[in-house]
Structure 1
Amino acid sequence: MSKAIIELNHIDITFHQKNRVIEAVKDVTLHIQQGDIYGIVGYSGAGKSTLVRVINLLQTPTDGRVLVDGDTTFADRKVQLTSEELRQKRRQIGMIFQHFNLMAQKTARENVAFALRHSGLSKEDKEKKVTELLELVGLSDRAENYPAQLSGGQKQRVAIARALANDPKILISDEATSALDPKTTKQILALLQELNQKLGLTIVMITHEMQIVKDICNRVAVMQDGRLIEEGSILDIFSNPVQPLTQDFITTATGIDEALSKIEEQDLVKNLPASSLLVQLKYAGSSTDEPILNQIYSRHQVTTNILYGNIEILEETPVGEMIVVLDGNRQGLEAALQELKASNLQVKILKEGV
C-alpha cells in the first residue's frame, strides 16, 4: 500500500493587509499518496495555489501541520526544519508554471543546467544529466535553441526538464497548461503521465479546469472560498458529485451543458408530446453492461430516442451519460423509470411532455 507523501492537516493561511484580514485557506486537510496524480481544482481566488505553496514552505501557514515525505515541516505555528534541512526538502519538490519562467538569454540546455548549479556534480556529469533530461521530455533536437525560438509546448517541456533536474519526488504543476492550445495541452498531460509512471513521480495539478483533472488525475480536491468542499477518487467525484460547484465543473468538463443547450432547441424537445419524457441518465461500471433500454421496451413498451450519449473510462471503469426521450403510456413510463433506477442508473427528468 502506498504511503502519504504529502499531509496537510487543518491548514489555515491568513493575510493581514492594512485594515483587512484575508482568510485565504480555512481548515484544509488533505493527504496525497506517493505516486498519485492529484488534482486541486477551483476558480481564481479559491486558495488552491496558496495552499500548495505550503508544501515546500514558499508560503508559511498560519496554523496547522505539514508533513512532506515523512518529515514534519511545519507544526505548532512554526517551521520545524533548519535552513539546510529546508533547502534539502525543497530540492525534492519541482515546480512548473503557466508562463514557463525560462531565462530568455539562455538556451534550453542552459536553462536546464541552471537548476544543477548547486548540485555538486562534475561538469561532465551535469552535461550528461541535462542531455538525458532533454531527451526524456522529447527536446534533444532543441537543446541549443533560445526560448524565443520555441513553441509554448516546447517551452513547457524545457521547464519540466528543469524541474526534474534534482530528481524530485514531487512535481507541482501550477496551471501549467493554461497558456497552451488544446492539442499541446494533451501532449503535455501525456508527458506528465509518462513521467509519473516511469519515475514514480507524485504530481500535484493545480487547475481551474476539470477537463484536465479528468484526463490525468486519479484523485481530486475541489476548493471554494479557501475551503476544501469535496475530495475523492476521480471515479467517485465524476459518478456522484455532491457539491453544486463540483457539479458545475463536471458538466463543463463532460460537455453535457453545451449538449443540453442544443437539445433544448430541437423541435422534438420544444414540442414534447404528452406521452414523452426528456430524461438524463448517468451510469457507471456494470450498469453499462446490460441492454437496459431494450429491456424497458420489451417489458413496458417504452421506446427510447437517444439525443446525446458520452462514455469515458475513468480508473478502468466505464462512466457515461445520455439524454433520451422516453415515450409510452403513463403506467409504462413509471415502470420504466423504476427499472432504470433499480439498475443503478441515476435518473433525472429534465422535461415532461404536455
Structure 2
Amino acid sequence: MREPIIQLDHIDISFHQKKRKIEAVKDVSVAINQGDIYGIVGYSGAGKSTLVRAINLLQIPTAGRVKVSGQTFFDRKVNLKAGDLRQKRREIGMIFQHFNLMTQKTARQNVAFALRHSDLSKEAKAEKVDELLELVGLSERADNYPAQLSGGQKQRVAIARALANDPKILISDESTSALDPKTTKQILALLQDLNKKLGLTVVMITHEMQIVKDICNRVAVMQNGSLIEEGTVLEIFSNPREPLTQDFIKTATGIDDALVKINRQDVVKRLGANDRLVFLRYAGTAADEPLLNAIYRQYEVSSNILYANIEILDDTPVGEMIVVLSGQQVSSALSAIEAADVSVSILKGGQ
C-alpha cells in the first residue's frame, strides 16, 4: 500500500488570547494520496484553513505530526531547519480567494516573481513563465496588469505563479469564493485539468459542497475544529451521517429550495390518509431499476414525482427524489423500496 503524500496525525492547534485558550483544531488526522483532489469543507471558523496551513508549517501545530512526501515536517522530535523547510515548501503551491497579485507588475512579472530564487538562467525563467501562462490559458494577457484582468484571469495568474516551482501539491484556500458561478466552473475545470496533466495533488478548502461535488474525489467535513466525517465523495453524498454534512448536501443539490416550493403545492397540503410525502436517496444499481413502476404493479401504490435529481459521482449514479406515494398498501411499498437499498425518509403523512 502506497504512503499518502500528505499525512496529518492527531493535529492540535491552539491559540492563547489574553486569558482564553482557543482550540482551533482538535485531534484531526487526515491522509491524502498522490493525485487526489481532496476537499476540506466547513463553515467559517471550522478550522479548515488553520489545519491546511499546518501542511507547509505556515501554522505550527501544538501537537501531532506532519508528514509530506514521505518526510516528517514536524513532530515532537523533528522540526525541519529553516533552510530545509523553505526548500520543501517549494513543493507546495498555494492560491487564495483574493489572488494576492502585485498590482504594479504584469501577469508575466507576477509569475516570474515566484522564480526569483530559482537556479534557472534568465532565458529559462522567461521560457518557463511563457509555458505556465499558456498552461492556464493566459498567453495573450501576459503583458496586462492585474487591473486590466477579470477575476477569473487574475486567478489564472495566481495559479500559474503557484506552479512556478513545480510543486507536487497545490492548496486552494477558498480560491473561487470571489468569482461568479461561470468563472468558478472554468477555474475548477482548469484545476481538474492540471491534476490530470501534471499529476498534481490538489487540496481544496471551501464552504461550498457544490465545489466538492464538482471536482473532488475525497472530502473531509470539519466543525468547531474537529473532523466529523470523511470519505469518498460518493460515500459522503450517498450516505451522509452527520447533520452538518446532510445540511451541506441539501444546499448543494438544491433540495431545501425544492422543498419550500413543494410544500406550497395543493397535492402536499391535502394528503389523504393513505398518502405519504417521502424523500428517497439512492445510489448505484438502485438507480437503474424501474422501482416505482414495480411497486405500482405489486402493491397498486401510485407515485407522483414532485422533484428528482440524478448525478454521476465517481462513475456511479446518485439520485434524490421527492414523491407522493398513494395507496392502501403504502407501508408495504415503503418496505419494498428500503429493501431495494433506497434510503427512505417520510416527510409528511402517516404520523
Fold match (TM-score > 0.5): yes
Matched residue SS, 2:5: strand
What is the letter of the counterpart of residue 307 of structure 1?
Answer: L
Shift of 1:289: 1.2
Please report the TM-score for the alignment, with normalisation by the length of structure 1. 0.98
Counterpart residue type for residue 68 of structure 2: V
C-alpha displacement of 1:88: 1.1
> Could you tell me whether the CA contact under 8 Å between 1:153 and 1:184 is conserved in 2?
yes
Within-5 A mapping of 1:1-354: 2-76=2-76, 80-329=79-328, 332-352=329-349
* Inter-partner Cα distance in structure 1 for 2:24 and 2:89: 23
Amino acid at match of 2:336: E
CA distance in 1, matches of 2:344, 2:82: 57
Cα deviation 1:173-195 (Å, max 9, x = unaligned): 00000000000000000000000
Gaps of 5+ in 1: none
CA distance in 1, matches of 2:269, 2:87: 64
1:115 CA displacement:
0.2
Q: Deviations over 1:184-236 (max 9, x none)?
A: 00000000000000000000000011110010000000001100111111000
2: CA distance, partners of 1:141 / 1:70: 39
CA distance in 2, matches of 1:241, 1:3: 27
Asked if the contact 2:63–2:75 (Cα under 8 Å) also holds between the matched residues in 1, the reply is yes
Q: Per-residue CA shift, 1:96-116, capped at 9, x if unaligned?
A: 000000000000000000000
Contact in 2 for aligned 1:10/1:64 (Cα 8 Å): yes
Query: Which amino acid is 2:204 matched to?
Result: M
User: How many angstroms apart in 1 are the aligned matches of 2:288 and 2:314?
Assistant: 17
Q: Which runs of 4+ in 1 moved over 6 A?
A: none
Deviation digits for residues 71-95 of structure 1 (CA, Å, limit 9, x no counterpart): 001011x652122210111000000
1:295-324 CA deviation, whole Å, 9 max, x = no partner?
101111011110000001000000001000
Q: Is the 8 A contact 1:2 1:34 kept in 2?
A: no
Instruction: Give secondary structure in 2 for the equivalent of 1:4.
Output: coil
What is the alpha-carbon distance in structure 2 between the residues aligned to residue 15 and residue 303 of structure 1? 58
Q: Output one character per residue of 1:234-291: Cα deviation in whole Å (capped at 9) or x when no partner.
A: 0000011111111110110110011011100111111112221101111000001111
Distance 1:2 1:203 in 2: 18
Distance across 2 between alignment mates of 1:71 and 1:274: 64
- Taking structure 1 as reference, are residues 353 and 17 closer, same or farther at Cα in structure 2, changes over 3 Å only? closer
Given that 2:3 and 2:70 are in contact with CA atoms closer than 8 Å, whether structure 1 keeps it comes out as no
- 8 Å contact 1:271–1:353 — kept in the other structure? no
Unaligned segments of structure 2, at least 5 residues: none
Q: CA deviation at 1:353?
A: 6.4
Tell me, what secondary structure is at the counterpart of 1:280?
strand
AA at the equivalent of 1:92: E
* Higher alpha-carbon deviation: 167-176 or 275-284: 275-284
8 A Cα contact 1:312 1:320, kept in partner: yes
Rounded to whole Å, the distance in 2 between the matches of 1:161 and 1:79 is: 32
Instruction: Provide the C-alpha distance between the structure 1 equivalents of 2:78 and 2:120, rounded to a whole number of angstroms.
Output: 29
2: CA distance between counterparts of 1:230 and 1:123? 48
Task: Give the aligned length.
Answer: 351
